[in-house]
Structure 1
Amino acid sequence: MSKSLQTTLIIPGILLFVLFFAMFPAVLTAGSEGVLQIHLGNGLASIRHYLGGLLSGESFQFIAGSTERSFWDQIGACFTVSFGYTAVGGVAGLTAGMLLGVYLAVSRRARWMKRFLELTGILPDFVIVLLLQFLVVYIASETGMVVFKVASASTDDPAVALPLISTILIPANYMIRNVALQMNNAFTEDYIGFAKARGLAKPYIVFFHALPNVLPFVKADLHKFMAILFGNLFIFEYLYNLNGVTLMVFSNAFAYGSYQYSLVVNGLLALLALYAVVYALLRAVVYGWEKVIVR
């Protein structure tokens, strides 16, 4: 199969995957005795109803609380919130991860950082968020000074700093360890020994010999980095009360005991669009690193 044909089939394949993935809550239901039952007809009916309501606009209406809302009226603000935190967190986490990964690989005084990474690496993401919130509350109770907002009180007064710290810290942890590992492997190669024998300065060897050979591994691991970033998105938006895409979808997926299939499909498609935009942004950051340090 040619590459152009594969690219052409990607979008229909993604749409079919979303349509079938979103129907599982409608297909799998609990019976009267708590036994899981499968009703495939419910899922297929949901798909038909969604496709049939595209032209009329019915597929873009959903219930939030007791009010019917338009998906298009809500998604702009929610997408902006999710994009802002993931884009800033992703770029800062990637950049900090690369720089600190280099530092961890070349410095013998970075043992404290290695211990910190080992500690935070075993903690679940929601535990890290709760610990950060507890730390802010503890500082406020002891000193009377509120360093950061622990959650958003409203859309007009959102928490900014603490959610950004969380979105940076967790994916950066992965990138630091990955870059440090690949840098240590690069230092064992013959070309590094040859560069040292030529008397080249250590910073030059690190940034213009070793790091360029680490960047392909960073580029290959971007999807893993993105998976960590997006896997934590709902946790961040829920615990910090951020009005993003995931909070809008999961808070309203079940209204009055019924499953809103159309809202989930539209929300998943919005998240896929968000993933594509943030991934392109991170690829541009890696491309910029390549233009600066690759000779």
Structure 2
Amino acid sequence: MIKATQYITVFLGILSFVFVFAMVPNVLIQGHFDGSLHFLWSNGLTSFNEYLAGIANGDTFRYLSGKTERSFWEQIGSSLTLTFSYMAVGAVIGMTSGILLGIYFSVTRKQWLKGLLELTSVLPDFVIVLLLQVLIVLIADKTGLVMFQVASFSTDEPAIALPLISTIIIPAIYMIRNVALHMSQTLSEDYISFAKARGLGKRYIIFFHALPNVLPFVKADLHKFLGILFGNLFIFEYLYNLNGVTLLVFSNAYAYEGYQYNLVVNGLFTLLLLYAVMLLLMKVLIAGWEKVFVR
């Protein structure tokens, strides 16, 4: 009963947050004379009431793209598929490579590699994306070889390779640092010294003694890992011109008639659904690691 109450409370809290967060552009109004900001909560309540009333007749799930009326259900499917595809591939490969490289960085003595990791970890995500695009342009300019598309120029020819590389690199950097830190601490424990004294091989000790005690830390940091992916999703889709969920929502949040509260709320709910699916996928992936290495 207590568990059910907690889940209901969390669910209602999330619903309230989405509805209130989406109200901000309607509620926060700039004064015409002095330019000061004022809160008009009545505007927010009006938007909320219109959203609930529009569920019955379908108005809640229609929006304007420029001056063209579109159905949210007809547009969100392709956008959600696109966003999920990039994020799922990036998260799975990023986590897998991050764990393996994190193990390597914890035992290597090549200090320049660790320095390079620290350098890349302080770069904002959008800088990494821009650097990758500039690198492709420079290679094309010097050699005439266009390795990858730097952005999607149409829905028929979307950029694939470079966005995937970006979604892999960004979470992998975080995972490498996280795993390397906890692996270094684990390898200094007494039971690792005892395993070495027994004559067990280095790889066996790392993967079957140390790694099982690092995986719980990886699981505990899943929300941070996904937060990195979701935190810059709009910048990622904007720079690569990918018609994903965030680009669909935020590029149409303001139509010629004004702010579209319904579209923003529906978009936020879609992102929450995507987050839940990605969290489940990551938990399944870690469970697979535990199945193989935990004895």
TM range (shorter): over 0.9
Q: Residues of 1 paired with 2:80 and 2:125: CA distance?
A: 22
Partner of 1:144: 144
CA deviations on 1:132-169 (whole Å, 9 max, x unpaired) are 10110010011000011000011111001111111111
Residue equivalent to 1:81:
82
Which stretch shows the higher mean deviation, 137-146 or 255-264? 255-264
Residue 40 of structure 1 is matched in structure 2 by 41
Shift of 1:127: 1.1
In structure 2, C-alpha distance between the alignment counterparts of 1:263 and 1:64, rounded to whole Å: 10
Measure, in 2, the Cα distance between the counterparts of 1:188 and 1:284. Answer: 29
Q: Please name the residue that 1:269 is paired with.
A: 269
Does structure 1 residue 291 correspond to structure 2 residue 294? no
The one-letter code sitting in structure 2 at the alignment partner of 1:253 is: A
CA distance in 1, matches of 2:106, 2:57: 58
Tell me which residue corresponds to 2:236.
236
Match of 1:129 in 2: 129
Distance in 2 (alpha carbons) for counterparts of 1:42 and 1:108: 61
| Corresponding position: 1:249 with 2:249 | yes
Q: Which stretch of the first structure deviates more once superposed, 120-129 or 239-248? A: 120-129
1:100 lines up with 2:115 in the alignment: no
Describe the SS at the equivalent of 1:154.
coil
Q: Distance in 1 between matches of 2:239 and 2:113?
A: 27
**What is the alpha-carbon distance in structure 1 between the residues aligned to residue 264 and residue 77 of structure 2?**
16
Superposition deviation, residue 67 in structure 1? 0.4
What does residue range 143-292 of structure 1 map to in structure 2 within 5 Å?
A: 143-256=143-256, 258-292=258-292
2: CA distance, partners of 1:180 / 1:166: 21
Shift of 1:43: 0.5
Q: Distance in 2 between matches of 1:232 and 1:162?
A: 16
The amino acid that maps onto 1:210 is A
SS in 2 for 1:69: strand
Equivalent residue of 1:84, what SS? helix
TM-score, normalisation: structure 2: 0.97
SS of the counterpart of 2:211? helix
In 2, Cα distance between equivalents of 1:229 and 1:76: 20
1:113 is displaced (CA, Å) by 2.6
Structure 2 segments unaligned to the other structure (5+ residues): none
What does the per-residue CA deviation read over 1:52-84, in whole Å, with 9 as the maximum and x for residues that have no partner? 101110000000122000000000000001000
Find the aligned partners of 1:40 and 1:286 in 2 and give their Cα distance: 44
Could you tell me how far 1:257 is from its partner in structure 2?
5.6
**Distance in structure 1 (CA, Å) of the matches to 2:4 and 2:39:** 38
Tell me the amino acid that sits aligned with residue 239 of structure 2. Answer: L
1:117 aligns with 2:103: no
Give me the whole-angstrom Cα distance separating, in 2, the residues matched to 1:114 and 1:257.
53
* CA deviation profile, 1:227-248 (whole Å, cap 9, x unmatched): 0011121111000000000000
Could you say what secondary structure the match of 1:37 adopts? strand
Paired amino acid for 1:36 = L
Q: Deviations over 1:230-275 (max 9, x none)?
A: 1121111000000000000110001116110000000000000000
The residue type paired with residue 154 of structure 1 is S
Aligned-partner residue type, residue 93 of structure 2: A
CA–CA separation in structure 1 for the residues paired with 2:148 and 2:50:
45
Distance in 2, matches of 1:78 and 1:216, equals: 33
- How far, CA to CA, are the matches of 1:219 and 1:158 in structure 2? 33
Three-state SS of the structure 2 residue aligned to 1:199 is coil
Aligned counterparts of 2:279 and 2:164: Cα–Cα separation in 1: 18
| 4+ runs deviating over 6 angstroms | none
CA distance in 2, matches of 1:202, 1:22: 53
Q: Which amino acid aligns with 2:36?
A: V
Q: Unaligned regions of 5+ residues in structure 1, if any?
A: none
